[in-house]
Amino acid sequence: MEFISQLIDKKIMGVNIAAVLSIEEYIKFAPNILDKNDYQRRKVKSGGKTYDLLRDDLVEGCVIPPIILAVTNAYGADLDLLVKDAIREKEEFKRWAEIYAFIERAATDGELLILDGLQRTLTIAGILLRGEGGFSEDQKNDLKASLIRTEIYVGLSKPGILYRMLTLNTGQTPMSFRHQLEILYNDYIDNAQLPDNIQVVREADEQRARGAATFKYSDVVDMFYAYSTGSPMPYTKQALVGELKELKFLESFEYKPKNDDMQQLLVAFNSLSKAVEELDDNWAFDTEIDEDSPGNDIVRPFATNVASLFSRTQVMTGFGAECQRLVDQDMYGDLDAIKAQASKIKFSGEPSQALDQLVGILDRISKNAKRIGDAQRAYFQFAFRALLNPNSEAYLDLSKCWLSAEETYQMMF
């Protein structure tokens, strides 16, 4: 590995070291760091022509963009002090060789993270380690001898790593907006600390959120954003860029007073979901009902059972936004007080009739709204207002709150 230049990154207070090495050198340590970065998405499943083309190009000697790495915090104060001296002394700093030694040690120890270039790394590994593409030994040897550039960040804090991952996301297959949100709020939810068997599934986990008490992390973030803003409208890319630009999320990593709020909000929502499911008499929306039924023209029902109903982000964001409003208006002291209402809710009529009515209302909204998702989010905020507001005529009544919300929705829209 030949180190060729150094730059100070003033934004995230780290140093960036440029290096050149052969692909053979890189592939010796790359497999050991593929799963080192918990924030990194897994292999893109698009496969197909894009990555076939990259594979062929690599064998033909294509120069790829630099792979961006970062040294982990495994070396503690010894490396941190060196980096701080480099940032402070700048051009006068004379101990770069010591930092280079730490980088080489990190490569040997597997203490590097891939910030940008995971798919390129996996493509190289596929050719040389798994024999993908059916290339000859001569072609593989030529590839091993090819040179690539890397940039290695040293001295980054965890938020610095996350920030760089977000801003480096300019590759052939962009990181999904959902995954960007998960990175932004990475430390706000820990499955090991969640009660009531709640599980939160991240995009990098490569599994679907199925079953009771299982939620997508991006939907939980969406609900928390609705709670933070008091609006059920979705977290936009513009909002993400704004937070990045102002570095609000970096500042909040060390002191996150709202960290507990996200967990409490999720626990309150899950409690309400469980309470409704316990009262629903095993309701399932009948998609094959007779011609005289008022719901016979509903081709795509919003939900067919309570579990699917409460897994939808429209429901979660409506709940989050209304919780903020109820707390702001001093109707409840905190989220725990709202959670306590779950044990008090009831159906004053037949559960199946009330829930069938809900599906019908949502179908009517979808047929008339210009932005269906936004309209449904607004509707569910009104529904939770009717259900949880002590001054509402539908207070704690799951048979009345849906119709009351429809009346409010029609007046507002």
CA angle 111, 117, 119 (to 5 degrees): 110
pLDDT at 37: 60
Q: pLDDT exceeding 90 applies to what percent of the chain?
A: 58
Q: Is the pLDDT of residue 159 over 80?
A: no
Range with the largest mean pLDDT of 21-30, 54-63, 118-127? 21-30
Q: Is the pLDDT of residue 112 over 70?
A: yes
Both tokens of 133, joined, read: 């593409």
Range with the largest mean pLDDT of 176-185, 288-297, 391-400? 391-400
Cβ neighbors of 268 (< 8 A, separation 6 or more) are: 323, 335, 336, 338, 339, 342
Both tokens of 240, joined, read: 């993400």
Cβ 20 vs Cβ 149: under 8 Å: yes
How far, in Å, are 50, 89, 283 from residue 139 at the CA level? Answer: 20, 46, 62
What number of other Cβ atoms are within 10 A of residue 412's Cβ? 9
**Per-residue pLDDT tens for 93-104?**
999 999 999 999
Both tokens of 255, joined, read: 């002191």
Distance CA 367, CA 305 (A): 21
pLDDT at 248: 47
Q: Is the pLDDT of residue 250 over 60?
A: no
pLDDT at 10: 86
Least confident of 134-138, 215-219, 308-312: 215-219
pLDDT at 106: 95
Q: Is the pLDDT of residue 128 over 90?
A: yes
**Per-residue pLDDT tens for 344-359?**
999 999 999 999 999 9
pLDDT confidence bin for 186, thresholds 50/70/90? low
Both tokens of 317, joined, read: 């964001």
Q: What is the average pLDDT score of the chain?
A: 84
Cβ 224 vs Cβ 200: under 8 Å: no
pLDDT confidence bin for 108, thresholds 50/70/90? very high
CA angle 281, 287, 292 (to 5 degrees): 95
Distance CA 139, CA 207 (A): 37
Section 16-22 average pLDDT: 97
pLDDT confidence bin for 209, thresholds 50/70/90? low
How many Å is the Cα radius of gyration of the chain?
26
**In terms of Cα–Cα distance, which of 115, 73, 74, 81 is closest to 98?**
81
pLDDT confidence bin for 372, thresholds 50/70/90? very high
pLDDT confidence bin for 166, thresholds 50/70/90? low
Q: Is the pLDDT of residue 324 over 60?
A: yes
pLDDT at 181: 59
In 3-state terms the chain splits into helix, strand, coil percentages (rounded to 5) of 55, 10, 35
- Coil vs helix vs strand at 9: strand
Q: Is the pLDDT of residue 390 over 50?
A: yes
Cβ 314 vs Cβ 377: under 8 Å: yes
**Encoded amino acid at 77, one letter:** A
Distance CA 298, CA 358 (A): 12
